[in-house]
Amino acid sequence: MATTQAESTPNPNSLKFTTDDGPFLNGGVAAYSSADEAAEDPLARRLFGVSGVDDVFITPQFVTVSKAPSVDWGSVKPDVETILAEHLEAA
């Protein structure tokens, strides 16, 4: 199964997820601040399906997910990691 590593960022409400299992995106970058903006992006759409996700930034090398300040990472991070692993395995 594909794995990701979460790294902290200067923003305590954002985590950067990296992997050695291939690109998250085939070139370019994608940034979304709402589920509506992410409607055409299957990975971002799934990430916004996690309760508390506020913002998604996708590059080939990493994905940064930002959560609502009122939400604990413990309820967000496991779902995000599962979605990213499934995305990498399907690619």
The domain limits of the chain are 5-90
Q: How far is CA 83 from CA 6, 7, 90, in A?
A: 13, 17, 11
Question: Which is higher by pLDDT, 1 or 19?
Answer: 19
- What pLDDT is attached to residue 91? 80
- The phi, psi pair for 17, rounded to 5°, reads -105, 125
Kindly indicate the confidence band of residue 68, based on its pLDDT and cuts at 50, 70 and 90: very high
- What pLDDT is attached to residue 1? 76
Query: CA–CA separation, 72 vs 75, rounded Å?
Result: 6
Is the pLDDT at 42 greater than 80, yes or no? yes
- What pLDDT is attached to residue 32? 98
Is the pLDDT at 67 greater than 90, yes or no? yes
- Give residues with Cβ within 8 angstroms of 75, minimum separation 6: 51, 52
**CATH homologous superfamily, domain 5-90:** Scaffold protein Nfu/NifU, N-terminal domain (3.30.1370.70)
